[in-house]
Amino acid sequence: MSIPHDAPGVPSSRPALTLKTLRRMASSGEPFACLTCYDATTARWLEAAGIHVLLVGDTAAEVVLGFPSTVHMPLDVAIALTAGVKRGAPNSVVMGDMPFMSYQADDAEALRNAGRFVTEGLADVVKLEADASFAPLVEKMARAGVPVCAHVGSKPQSVGLTGGYASAGRTADAAERVIEDAVTLERAGAVMLLVEAVPEEVTRGILERTSVPLIGIGAGPAPHGQILVLQDLIGMTHWQPGFAQPIAQIGPEIQRAVEGWIERVKDRTSTDHRYLMKRGESAKLKSPASE
């Protein structure tokens, strides 16, 4: 059965959004919306809603694969999920998130892995958690033609150093380091920045000293774009950070639907559909008693 092109849950007919679109929106003061996404079916719905950017985040390690932190995200899985999201939302900007140890150990390996996100993963931009020390790598990626979003501020892949998730930039010295990280990484060639879990003063400092689009998460209302984990937004996680209050409760709705399905199966009312044998064929069947 064919699906009408304008039906809900299929890619919209809007023009394809690009990094140029995001730069234009940022320069004109028009905010753009971003969400994480990990599969083609959900991506179709998000694009139909008008989303601008989809991040195939390493949070998939937690919300898809069930690991306790993002550092467990397998590279090959991340690339495959990124491609699926782009196929589901071909007119959105899709960002691939480079997992832990896919870019930290060796620049040549990092370049190859970033290239895989673009070629196999169909990503429009590749994100990596970074500070100023990663500027030479970002420069190499830019020279190779890989669009980079540099993630500064709180960096979940570094929770092993801090003993848990923590905000960043809460002292003057720490704030200046985060701002300088952003400035340095833009100069190295990053086409976009993402800042996580910082005071608004840090966000304003980055905006004042950089020119590329800035995405925020827990960084106040000032960034050009805002991003959340989809499962946090729609009430599918049991705990959300303070900056990610849900605006829907899809989790309980799923539970109720499944409870209803279980009851229908129990009552043998799961479906009214019947496949019928062709006329006269039923009489030809041999009964067990005749054998």
What are the start-end ranges of the E strands in the chain? Answer: 32-36, 53-56, 93-97, 125-129, 148-153, 192-196, 214-217, 225-228
Catalytic (active site) residue 30: no
Sign of CA dihedral 170, 226, 19, 120: positive
Query: Quick check: 126 and 106 in contact, CB under 8 A?
Result: no
Q: Which two tokens stand for residue 201?
A: 């003063």
Closest to 192 in 3D by CA, of 32, 75, 81, 48 = 32
Q: Rounded to an integer, what distance in angstroms lies between the CA atom of residue 78 and that of residue 234?
A: 22
Q: Which of 196, 200, 201, 259 is catalytic?
A: 196
Closest to 124 in 3D by CA, of 99, 144, 94 = 94
Q: Rounded to an integer, what distance in angstroms lies between the CA atom of residue 117 and that of residue 55?
A: 12
**Residues with catalytic function:** 196
